[in-house]
Structure 1
Amino acid sequence: MNLSKYLSLVLAITSTLFINTAFAQNAVKPVISGDYADPSIIKAKDTYYAIGTSSEWAPHFPVYTSKDLMNWEQTGYVFDKAPEWTSGSFWAPEYDYNNGTYFIYYTARRKSDGISCIGVATSKSPDEGFVDHGVIIEHGKEAIDGFVFVDNGVRYITYKAYGLDKRPIEILGVKLSNDGLKVEGETFSMMKDDAGKGLEGQSFMKVGDYYYMFYSAGACCGIQCDYNVGVARSKSFRGPYEKYAQNPILSENEAWKCSGHGTFVKTEQGKYYYLYHAYNKQTTVFAGRQGMLAELTWPEKNGWPKFKEVSGPNTSKDLSFNFTDKTLSKSWQWDFRNSTPKISQGNGKLNLSGAVAASNLTGIALTVRPVSAIFEATTTVINSNTAIKGISYYGDASAAVGVGVTGNQVQFWKIQNKQKTVLASQTINGTGNVQLKFKVASNLEVTTFYKQGQDDWKALNSETKVDVNFLPQWDRSPRIGLNFNGKPEEVASFSDFNLKYTP
Structure 2
Amino acid sequence: MRKKINLSWYAALAVIAKLLLITNILSAQTIIESVIAGDFADPSIIRANNQYYAVGTSSEWAPHFPIYSSKDLLNWKQTGYVFAKAPAWTSGSFWAPEFDYHDKTYFIYYTARRKKDNVSCIGVATSKYPDRGFVDQGIIIDYGKEAIDAFVYLEGNTRYITFKAYGLDKRPIEILAYKLARNGLTIKGKPFPLLKDNQKIGLEGQSILKKDGYYYLFYSAGNCCGTQCDYNVRVARSKSFAGPYELYAANPLLMENEYWKCSGHGTFVKATDGKDYYLYHAYNKKTNVFSGRQGMLAQLSWPAKGGWPVLKEQSGPTLNRDLKLNFTRPEINKRWQWDFRNSTPKILQQNGQLHLSGRINKDNLSGIALTLRPVSGIFEATTAVTNTNNALKGLVYYGDAGSAIGIGISGNEIEFWKVENKARTVLSKLQVSTKVPVELKMKTAEDLSLMVFFKQGNQEWKNMPAKEKITVNFLPQWDRCPRIGLHFNGSVNQYADFSSFGLKY
Aligned counterparts, 1:399-418, within 5 A: 399-418=403-422
Cα distance in structure 2, aligned partners of 1:163 and 1:218: 13
Give the equivalent residue in structure 1 for 2:9: none
Aligned counterparts, 1:102-141, within 5 A: 102-141=106-145
SS in 1 for 2:278: strand
Given that residues 406 and 417 in structure 2 are in contact (C-alpha distance below 8 angstroms), is that contact kept between their aligned partners in structure 1?
Answer: yes
Give the equivalent residue in structure 2 for 1:265: 269
Aligned counterparts, 1:281-360, within 5 A: 281-360=285-364
Give the equivalent residue in structure 2 for 1:55: 59
Give the equivalent residue in structure 2 for 1:42: 46
Give the equivalent residue in structure 2 for 1:396: 400
Give the equivalent residue in structure 2 for 1:362: 366
Cα distance in structure 1, aligned partners of 2:60 and 2:379: 23
Cα distance in structure 1, aligned partners of 2:88 and 2:61: 16
Render the CA deviation track for 1:137-186: whole Å, top value 9, x for unaligned. Answer: 01111000000001122100000000698431100001000100010011
Amino acid of the structure 1 residue aligned with 2:106:
Y
Cα distance in structure 1, aligned partners of 2:157 and 2:29: 47
Give the equivalent residue in structure 1 for 2:489: 485
Per-residue deviation at 1:218?
A: 0.3
SS in 2 for 1:251: coil
**Which has the bigger relative contact order, CA under 8 A and spacing at least 6?**
1
Aligned counterparts, 1:135-174, within 5 A: 135-162=139-166, 166-174=170-178
Structure 1 runs (4+) greater than 6 angstroms displaced: none
Residue 166 (structure 2) pairs with residue 175 (structure 1)? no
Residue 86 (structure 2) pairs with residue 82 (structure 1)? yes
Given that residues 42 and 57 in structure 2 are in contact (C-alpha distance below 8 angstroms), is that contact kept between their aligned partners in structure 1?
Answer: yes
Per-residue deviation at 1:33?
A: 0.3
Q: 1:164 to 1:347 in 2, by over 3 A?
A: closer
Give the equivalent residue in structure 2 for 1:442: 446
Given that residues 140 and 163 in structure 1 are in contact (C-alpha distance below 8 angstroms), is that contact kept between their aligned partners in structure 2?
Answer: no
Which of 466, 473, 477 is the aligned partner of 2:477?
473
Moved more, 458-467 or 198-207: 458-467
Given that residues 105 and 118 in structure 1 are in contact (C-alpha distance below 8 angstroms), is that contact kept between their aligned partners in structure 2?
Answer: yes
Moved more, 341-350 or 477-486: 341-350
Per-residue deviation at 1:463?
A: 4.8
Cα distance in structure 2, aligned partners of 1:66 and 1:150: 24
Cα distance in structure 2, aligned partners of 1:346 and 1:492: 13
Cα distance in structure 2, aligned partners of 1:281 and 1:24: 17
Give the equivalent residue in structure 1 for 2:70: 66
Given that residues 383 and 432 in structure 1 are in contact (C-alpha distance below 8 angstroms), is that contact kept between their aligned partners in structure 2?
Answer: no
Q: Calculate the aligned-residue CA RMSD, in Å.
A: 1.2
Gaps of 5+ in 2: 1-26
Cα distance in structure 2, aligned partners of 1:237 and 1:221: 30
Amino acid of the structure 2 residue aligned with 1:276:
Y
Give the equivalent residue in structure 1 for 2:100: 96
Cα distance in structure 1, aligned partners of 2:70 and 2:169: 44
Cα distance in structure 1, aligned partners of 2:494 and 2:169: 53
Per-residue deviation at 1:271?
A: 0.2
Per-residue deviation at 1:431?
A: 2.6
Amino acid of the structure 2 residue aligned with 1:185:
G
Give the equivalent residue in structure 2 for 1:11: none
SS in 2 for 1:371: coil
TM-score (norm: length of structure 2): 0.94
Which of 236, 254, 269 is the aligned partner of 2:240?
236
Q: 1:186 to 1:25 in 2, by over 3 A?
A: same
TM-score (norm: length of structure 1): 0.94
Which of 209, 216, 219 is the aligned partner of 1:205?
209
Render the CA deviation track for 1:58-114: whole Å, top value 9, x for unaligned. Answer: 000000000000000000000001000000000000000011110000000000000
Cα distance in structure 1, aligned partners of 2:445 and 2:28: 20
Per-residue deviation at 1:462?
A: 5.7
Cα distance in structure 1, aligned partners of 2:382 and 2:29: 29
Given that residues 338 and 397 in structure 1 are in contact (C-alpha distance below 8 angstroms), is that contact kept between their aligned partners in structure 2?
Answer: yes
Residue 437 (structure 2) pairs with residue 458 (structure 1)? no
Given that residues 92 and 107 in structure 1 are in contact (C-alpha distance below 8 angstroms), is that contact kept between their aligned partners in structure 2?
Answer: yes
Per-residue deviation at 1:456?
A: 1.2
Per-residue deviation at 1:346?
A: 2.2
Amino acid of the structure 2 residue aligned with 1:454:
N
Give the equivalent residue in structure 2 for 1:16: none
Gaps of 5+ in 1: 1-22
SS in 2 for 1:181: coil
Question: Percent sequence identity over matched residues?
Answer: 64
SS in 1 for 2:289: helix
Cα distance in structure 1, aligned partners of 2:373 and 2:487: 15
Given that residues 52 and 62 in structure 1 are in contact (C-alpha distance below 8 angstroms), is that contact kept between their aligned partners in structure 2?
Answer: yes
Render the CA deviation track for 1:439-462: whole Å, top value 9, x for unaligned. Answer: 001111111111111111111126
Residue 395 (structure 2) pairs with residue 382 (structure 1)? no
Given that residues 365 and 483 in structure 1 are in contact (C-alpha distance below 8 angstroms), is that contact kept between their aligned partners in structure 2?
Answer: yes
Cα distance in structure 1, aligned partners of 2:191 and 2:423: 48
Cα distance in structure 2, aligned partners of 1:399 and 1:36: 21
Which of 256, 261, 274 is the aligned partner of 2:260?
256
Given that residues 362 and 398 in structure 1 are in contact (C-alpha distance below 8 angstroms), is that contact kept between their aligned partners in structure 2?
Answer: yes
SS in 2 for 1:352: strand
Given that residues 146 and 168 in structure 2 are in contact (C-alpha distance below 8 angstroms), is that contact kept between their aligned partners in structure 1?
Answer: no
SS in 2 for 1:285: helix
Per-residue deviation at 1:464?
A: 3.5
Q: 1:198 to 1:24 in 2, by over 3 A?
A: farther
Amino acid of the structure 2 residue aligned with 1:326:
P
Amino acid of the structure 2 residue aligned with 1:372:
S
Residue 195 (structure 2) pairs with residue 191 (structure 1)? yes
Cα distance in structure 2, aligned partners of 1:63 and 1:122: 14
Per-residue deviation at 1:466?
A: 0.6
Q: 1:396 to 1:327 in 2, by over 3 A?
A: same
Given that residues 413 and 420 in structure 1 are in contact (C-alpha distance below 8 angstroms), is that contact kept between their aligned partners in structure 2?
Answer: yes
Amino acid of the structure 1 residue aligned with 2:313:
E
Q: Tell me the number of residue pairs that the alignment of Structure 1 and Structure 2 aligns.
A: 479
